[in-house]
Amino acid sequence: MMLMRAYNLLLLFYPASFRHEYGGEMRALFVRRMRDAGGPIARAALWLSTIAEVLGNAFLVHVDLLRQDVHYTARMLKRAPGFAVTAVLIVALGIGATTAAFSVTDFVLLRPLPFPQAERLVKVWETAPGYGRVELSAGNYHDWKRASTVFESIGLYHLFAGNLVGASEPLRVEGASVSADLFPTLGVQPLLGRRFAESDDREGAPGTTMLSYRLWQTRFGGDPAIIGRQVMLDTESYVVIGVMAREFRFPTPDALLWVPLRLTAQAQTERNNNWMYSVGRLRAGVTLDAARAEMNLLAAQSKQQYPKENANVGAAVFRFSDEVSQQSRLLLVALCGAAGCVLLIACANLANLLLSRALGRRRELAVRTAMGAGRERMVRQLLTESLLLAAVGGTLGVIVATLGVPLLNRLVPTALPLSSAPTVDLRVLLFAMALTALTGIAFGLAPVLRVGGEADLGGLREGSRAGGGHKERLRSALVVAEIMASIVLLVSAGLLLRALWTVQARNPGFDAEGVLALQTPLPAETYGPVATREAFYSRVLAEVRALPGVANAAFVSYLPMGRMRGGIWPVGLDGRPIDVADRQVAFIRFVTPAYFATLRIPIKRGRDIEESDARDRQPVAVVSELFVKRYWPDQDAASVIGRHITFAFSDRVVVGVAGDVLMRGLEREPEPQVYLSSKQVADGAIIGYIPRAFVVRSSTPPEALVPSIRAIVRRVDPRLPISDVSTLSDVVDRDTASRAVQLRVLGAFAAIAFVLAGIGIHGLLSFSVSQRAQEIGVRIALGATSSDILSMVVRRSVLLALAGLVPGVALAYAAGRSMEALLAGVKPADAATMGASVTLVVVMMFLGSLLPTLRALRVDPLTAIRTE
């Protein structure tokens, strides 16, 4: 008896239809064999062989069925190519959009950074009121490093840039200066040579550098004997001690080389000069919270120890992988949400297609059931069909995604040391496969539940004229869902478009049109003395201004909206000394004369910086309007001319008030700004702020000037490279580039959704008109007029539209609210956007129902009635 039960269990491996058909006989056979087998040993042998035999054969029976189903499906689909192609394309669009969105999101947000045990890597920052996190000062860093217990190791780095001078053209190289413990903290090894050692960090040690794989390949031809070679960076000689692996891109993907971070004894103890970054590796088992708690404690201790310097200083610890800005994160989440909407619409469409097909095949299915094909066979058959369609569509979708992903590269933030661009890899493929299987099963089940369960004789009796009542309701619900999802997407895309327009319409405070911008990275060693710099400026400026078409030219420390968007120095008002605790700060920019004219920044009062503002004269400053408003709130622009400020090591007199410039980007508010004469500073006092950005306004296309400018600079200093050549308009455009890409992606998604939903509506109405052709025919025969028929069909589509639009608009509003941070002040309930989106959906409904309506009007009563 036990044995029989075991055998029954074994039979469960067979498909139910097979078991049902042959189970009884197989059981009888098994009993007979057991009886015939003499002795327990023979029985045991029989039992074992039976197990093996059942497992093998059950598998083969499953394969047989699958093969049959696939053959059958392929035959059916060949007979309905329109259906097959539509279904495959719909799935391809849905899977393609979702896979592309996932591959970027996964790349940026989900997968670990390319370092061993990257989840233990954190960045440590200082905090300051009003700024959130700020760079570290060396003094605090060293105190905290010494006292902390949560880190296995921690290292320090700072961005580094220099000019690689050698046999060929000088090359601008960027990278980082790193402390010796940084690379061990990251857990990276060099490809060639060695890492930095403590001795490299010491002051006065010979210069050493490690090259990136890219620099080694492009500049040194991958020379295997590179270790030990001397290279010239600016005016100093460095020995190459190592080459890093190709995947190592730190701190940004453009990093080309690394040098030791050397701090003077004085710099080691500075607590108010915040310019460094640090990466720490938490000890195994230490949580982020524990690290934060300890760092807070250490910051509090520092505050007691240095009450003046550390008055407002706290400490913050973030996971390295969380460097992605909130905005980038939100943007990617929105992208995924949009892709999800597209997939949802695609799935609803697929389900609807399969449903109407299943309803159309009700008769066939009923016949098959009557002929003995069990429910299980029917379910298998329908699922095979939808899975087959999904598989073909999914494959096509992956191709779509592979082509689409490179377009999304702009959405990858540069704040992460990611080694490459996102691609469709194995992980993404697995995701796409899972998605495809889910799509196939979930939406193949809809018709199964609807039809498989009741493919009874009713199907035979009614003919194929089924689909009334609750089956229509399911189909309508799917179309309503499509309308909802597409309105959400349309509104989201519309809001982002409005946001982009709003941002682009903001006045940056300067006129970027017709301005060429480039960097002449003057090395601080050579160009530390002001006189050397001024000689360079005056020769270059004189020759460039003489070029045909050039209206004006000037040098400035940093371009607005360029790569360096900071540079805030403390300021003292009306002769008072600087007090850090006041938190009175302003942007600092050193300029040559005519900077304002070149960028067309308006001088509201007073005058520009002039040639006569030389070293031996009273230092002058031009301040921005906001500076006046914030720091002399009861004064107007005219009355501040002549007042004094303490700024950048000197007492300076305000000679002019300029318009505000959006230094940090179009989406940021202006902050107080001060412009100083490039001449009025001590030799070697400024390193980072030496005017190196060169701007030229021209009436001819600015790009055409590049060769002449290059030649002029080379004549003046042959060792000086020129880098970052672009028009200032491009610099401004780059500020909105990720927004524009995001809009394009979301817009594409919305367009796909729009088309799919239109197809869905068309499909539903066409089907229902063809199903009701007979009824329509009877009505016409009974004297219904064209307008009666028209209102019958149109009422349907209007009801569908309303059912989708009302909740759709509410959902769209909710979606808008959740991405408000991306909207640059555009309200989520923006009437124009809502109105335009609703209009589009109404147009889509109209187009979708046009053909079915015409068909309904053209029903010939005689033919329609005779078909039965």
Partner 1 sequence: MLPAATFHILLALVEEDLHGYAIIQEVARRTDGELTLSAGTLYRSIQRMLEQGFLVETRERPAPEDDDERRRYYRITPLGIATAREETRRLAQLVRMARAKGLAPGKA
Binding residues for partner 1, rule: CB under 8 A, are 18, 21-22, 24-26, 28-30, 32, 49-50, 53-54, 56-58, 60-61, 64, 68
Nearer to partner 1, 52 or 265 (CB): 52
Closest separation in Å from C-beta 389 to partner 1: 24
Nearer to partner 1, 51 or 407 (CB): 51
Closest separation in Å from C-beta 862 to partner 1: 42
Q: In this structure, what are the phi and psi dihedrals at residue 649, rounded to the nearest 5 degrees?
A: 70, 0
Q: In this structure, what are the phi and psi dihedrals at residue 239, rounded to the nearest 5 degrees?
A: -95, 130
Closest separation in Å from C-beta 64 to partner 1: 6
Closest separation in Å from C-beta 54 to partner 1: 5
Distance between terminal CA atoms of the chain?
A: 56
Tell me the Cα Rg of the chain: 36
Residue 198 vs residues 176, 184, 207, 292: alpha-carbon distances, Å: 17, 12, 13, 28
Nearer to partner 1, 18 or 510 (CB): 18
Nearer to partner 1, 34 or 286 (CB): 34
Taking Cα atoms as reference points, which of 230, 317, 332 lies closest to residue 279? 317
Q: What does the DSSP 8-state code read for residue 109?
A: I
Nearer to partner 1, 68 or 301 (CB): 68
Closest separation in Å from C-beta 341 to partner 1: 44
Nearer to partner 1, 27 or 133 (CB): 27
Taking Cα atoms as reference points, which of 345, 384, 343, 356 lies closest to residue 450? 356
Compute the residue count for the chain: 868
Closest separation in Å from C-beta 102 to partner 1: 42
Closest separation in Å from C-beta 455 to partner 1: 21
Cα 779 to Cα 790: distance, rounded to the nearest angstrom: 12
Reduced to 3 states (helix: H, G, I; strand: E, B; else coil), residue 328 is helix
DSSP string computed for 489-540: HHHHHHHHHHHHHHHHHS--SS--TTEEEEE----HHHH-SHHHHHHHHHHH
Residue 763 vs residues 78, 768, 797: alpha-carbon distances, Å: 20, 9, 12
Closest separation in Å from C-beta 76 to partner 1: 17
Cα 599 to Cα 582: distance, rounded to the nearest angstrom: 32
Pairing of strands 568-570, 620-624: unpaired
Instruction: Please give the distance of CA 403 from its chain centroid, rounded to a whole number.
Output: 17
Nearer to partner 1, 32 or 617 (CB): 32
φ/ψ region of 720 (left if φ > 0, alpha if ψ in -120 to 50, else beta) reads beta
Nearer to partner 1, 29 or 854 (CB): 29
Nearer to partner 1, 18 or 587 (CB): 18
Reduced to 3 states (helix: H, G, I; strand: E, B; else coil), residue 771 is helix
Residue the block writes with tokens 């039965």: 868
Nearer to partner 1, 55 or 653 (CB): 55
Closest separation in Å from C-beta 66 to partner 1: 13
Buried b (16+ CB within 10 A) or exposed e, 620-652: bbbbbbbbbeebbeeeebeebeebbbbbbebeb
Closest separation in Å from C-beta 68 to partner 1: 7
Closest separation in Å from C-beta 49 to partner 1: 8
| Residue ranges with strand state E in 524-615 | 550-556, 568-570, 572-573, 585-591, 603-606
Closest separation in Å from C-beta 10 to partner 1: 10
Nearer to partner 1, 357 or 377 (CB): 377
Nearer to partner 1, 72 or 501 (CB): 72
Q: What does the DSSP 8-state code read for residue 108?
A: I
Sign of the alpha-carbon torsion through 853, 858, 861, 864: negative
Closest separation in Å from C-beta 497 to partner 1: 58
Closest separation in Å from C-beta 77 to partner 1: 20
Nearer to partner 1, 21 or 733 (CB): 21
Closest separation in Å from C-beta 42 to partner 1: 13
Nearer to partner 1, 68 or 296 (CB): 68
Looking at residue 706, its amino acid is: V
Sign of the alpha-carbon torsion through 731, 734, 735, 736: positive
Buried b (16+ CB within 10 A) or exposed e, 313-351: bbbbbebbbeebeeebbebbebbbbbbbbbbbbbbbbbb
Q: In this structure, what are the phi and psi dihedrals at residue 695, rounded to the nearest 5 degrees?
A: -120, 140
Determine the number of helices (DSSP H) and then strands (DSSP E) in the chain.
28, 24
Nearer to partner 1, 49 or 507 (CB): 49
